[in-house]
Structure formats: C-alpha cells, structure tokens
C-alpha cells in the first residue's frame, strides 16, 4: 500500500541472470562454518544535525480541506481547492477515490455525496480523534528532513498531504508540480494509521490486508517510518537485478538508509517486526543465511521462488515455524551494515551507486556468527 504515482503519470502528475558456478556456494559454506565470527549489529552513526536549517516543510491537512468544502456552492469551493493544490487534488479524486470527470456535473454530485456520506463522516471522526494534533508527526518528519539534508544536501524535500481513502492507500509519492525540478508530494492515508483503538477487522475480516499481523503496524510509529521509506525508495531508484541477491541488497540498502535518517528508532519499527520476530532473526541469522545457501536461492531469479522471502508475512516458507517473513530483507540489511562497517568513509550516495551486488557482498565479507 505504498505507491509511486510518479511512475504512472507524466508532466501533470506522475503514483518496492545466470546462476554462478557451484564452487561459489562451497566457498561461502566454508566461510560461514569455518570462519564465522562476531558480527553484532553496529548502531547507526548519528551526526549532529541541530544546526541544519530547513526550508519551510509543507504539511497540509488535506483531509480537512475536503471535509470542510462548502457543499452549498460546491463548484466554487472545489475550484479554490484545485487552484490551491492542483496536483494532489487531481490525483486524490481521479486516482485514489476514482471520481472521474472533474468539472462535470456528475463529478460535483459525487463529491457532495462523498462529503455527506455517513461512513465517510464516521471515518473522518475516527481520524480526527487520533490525529487532532499532528505536531509530533510534523516534528518527526522535520527531523528526518534534517538527516536527509545532511546526507543528501541537494535533495528537494517533498510536501506532505494527509487524506482518507476508505482504507485504500497508506502512503503515495507523486510529482507535486509540472517542472522537472518541482518538489515531490507525499500523501499519507491517515485512516490506515488509526492504531490499536480501531478495529480494522470490521472493515473486511476476510481481507489479509486487515489481518492482525499487518494491522499491528497501522499506527503513528509506522506512519513517519513509511513516509521516510517511500522517500528512500525514490532516492534509490529501481532495483537493478532480478536475483534474490540483487533484491536482498536493494532492500538492505533501503533499511540501512532508513536507519541512518531515523537514528534512535527501534529496529522493530525499521523492520516492521514485532519484538519476538526481531529477536528470532537476530538469534538465527546464521541459520537464515545457511538456508538460502543450501537451497541455492542466492542467484535464483524466479519471482515465485524468492518473493516469499521479501513480502510481509508471519512466516518464511521452508524455515522453522518461528521464522517471520522478510528474512531476505533482514539479511540484506546485515550485509550492507557489514560493508559500511568495513568501509566507514563510504557516503550514502556512493553506497547507492554501487549496483554490483556480487562485488558488494564479497567486499562486505559478510559472515553471520554462530550463536
């Protein structure tokens, strides 16, 4: 439910090989079992960003702007909203809630019905109860902006907009302008971050999107994390390979960058794991890596074979029942962390530019320790 709208649209609005020789596997097994050593997680370096001055960060309660539209003169009210916020307005109505034909009578009738609909009013009330005050979120986003400016001085920090879509979208990124150098926009679906006090199972008990495993992260703690993640993914660009190794290190870079721009945030938030899952992967890192090696998955390119180790899930197939999903992401994070600990002078832009996954892994000398 994190979408890059920039890849779907242009100008006006733009919404995560061959197998190597067997000898490599034997070599890595040798390294794992013979030379395994202490390789505990190195805490993220946290530079002093207190003196960094930010341009004004725009945080728009767009859900309130829609809520407060004057339906007695809906045409004029909408025209003003469109004039003030053209790109999010077109994306929100045409793409997110699927109201076509802006400017037509049918559109304005749908808009009035939407604003007055009892389910929408009830949902907005739940959002307002949880997010009556967004200053703490804005402060956290400002903190992320400072770290991003430290590591990426030329990065143009996006504008932020909140909305509700009846549980359709968590976070989106889009081009908030017509020109190449215009800012991006980040849209945040507040109805997907209502926390433990909201019963998501009532929305649709059969939809896995509302399973306990996923909804446990539909809260404030993960809101800023997901907004930061979509920025990091945009900075990283598309992954450059189809092998498990390529995607593992791409996601590892993403998690490493998140850790750098959100220092002090728990690993459980960065990985989106409950505490017990975080402890399991930390205590069984060698077993996870050994599983990928023994099952010759490192260079596997089959989407069906490898995706199950990247997707959110309570379990990683083939591993012990306690093994959570996204184990490949965790190993990728560990490999990147190991590389950066060996080459601490590497800047984050330099890390991003390293697209040779094989070389990056070899240089990291990644060897998970035996516990």
Per-residue pLDDT of the chain (371 residues; tens, 9 = 90+): 555 555 443 322 333 333 333 333 333 333 333 333 334 333 446 899 999 998 778 999 999 999 999 999 999 999 999 999 999 999 999 999 999 899 999 999 999 999 999 999 999 999 999 999 999 999 999 999 999 999 999 999 999 999 999 999 999 999 998 777 789 999 999 999 999 989 999 999 999 999 999 999 999 999 999 999 999 999 999 888 999 999 999 999 999 999 999 999 999 999 999 999 999 999 999 999 999 999 999 999 999 999 999 999 999 999 999 999 999 999 999 999 999 999 999 999 999 999 999 999 999 999 998 76
φ and ψ of 293, to 5 deg: -70, -55
Neighbours of 290 (CB within 10 A): 16
- Helical H segments across the chain, by residue range: 22-35, 62-67, 74-84, 86-90, 105-116, 118-130, 135-151, 212-215, 220-236, 244-261, 267-271, 275-283, 285-294, 303-306, 327-342, 348-353, 357-364
- Which residues lie below 8 Å from residue 195, measured CB to CB, with a gap of 6+? 130, 218, 219, 220
**Chain centre to alpha carbon of residue 44:** 19
How many CB atoms lie under 10 A from the CB of residue 137? 20
> CB neighbours (10 Å) of residue 24?
15
Residue pointed to by tokens 């070899």? 362
Strand 159-163's sheet: what is its strand order?
2-4, 171-175, 184-189, 159-163, 59-60
d(CA 30, CA 309): 24
SS3 label, residue 325: coil
pTM value > 0.95: no
């Amino acid at each position: 439910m994190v979408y890059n709208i920039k890849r779907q649209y242009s100008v006006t609005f733009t919404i995560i090989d061959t197998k190597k020789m067997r000898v490599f596997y034997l070599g890595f097994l040798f390294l794992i079992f013979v030379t395994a050593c202490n390789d505990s997680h190195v805490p993220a370096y946290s530079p002093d960003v207190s003196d960094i001055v930010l341009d004004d960060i725009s945080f728009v309660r767009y859900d309130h702007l829609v809520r407060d539209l004057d339906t007695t003169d809906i045409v004029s009210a909408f025209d003003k909203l469109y004039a003030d916020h053209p790109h999010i307005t077109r994306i929100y109505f045409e793409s997110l809630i699927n109201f076509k034909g802006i400017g037509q009578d049918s559109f304005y009738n749908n808009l009035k019905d939407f604003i007055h609909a009892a389910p929408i009013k009830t949902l907005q009330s739940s959002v307002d109860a949880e997010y009556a005050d967004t200053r703490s979120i804005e402060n956290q986003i400002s903190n992320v902006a400072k770290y991003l400016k430290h590591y990426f001085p030329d990065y143009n920090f996006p504008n932020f907009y909140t909305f509700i879509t009846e549980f359709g979208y968590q976070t989106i990124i889009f081009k908030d302008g017509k020109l190449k150098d215009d800012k991006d926009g980040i849209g945040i679906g507040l109805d997907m971050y209502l926390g433990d006090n909201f019963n998501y199972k009532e929305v649709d008990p059969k939809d896995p999107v509302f399973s306990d495993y996923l909804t446990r992260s539909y809260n404030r703690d993960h809101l800023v994390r997901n907004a930061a993640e979509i920025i990091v993914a945009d900075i990283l660009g598309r992954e450059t390979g189809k092998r498990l190794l390529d995607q593992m290190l791409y996601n590892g870079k993403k998690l490493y960058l998140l850790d750098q721009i959100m220092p002090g945030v728990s690993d459980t938030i960065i990985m989106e794991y409950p505490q017990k899952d975080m402890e399991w992967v930390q205590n069984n890192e060698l077993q996870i890596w050994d599983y990928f090696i023994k099952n010759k998955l490192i260079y596997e390119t089959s989407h069906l074979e490898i995706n199950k180790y990247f997707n959110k899930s309570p379990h990683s197939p083939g591993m012990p029942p306690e093994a959570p999903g996204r184990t490949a992401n965790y190993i990728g994070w560990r490999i990147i962390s190991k590389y950066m600990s060996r080459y601490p002078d590497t800047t984050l832009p330099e890390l991003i530019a390293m697209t040779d996954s094989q070389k990056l892994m070899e240089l990291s000398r990644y060897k998970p320790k035996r516990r």
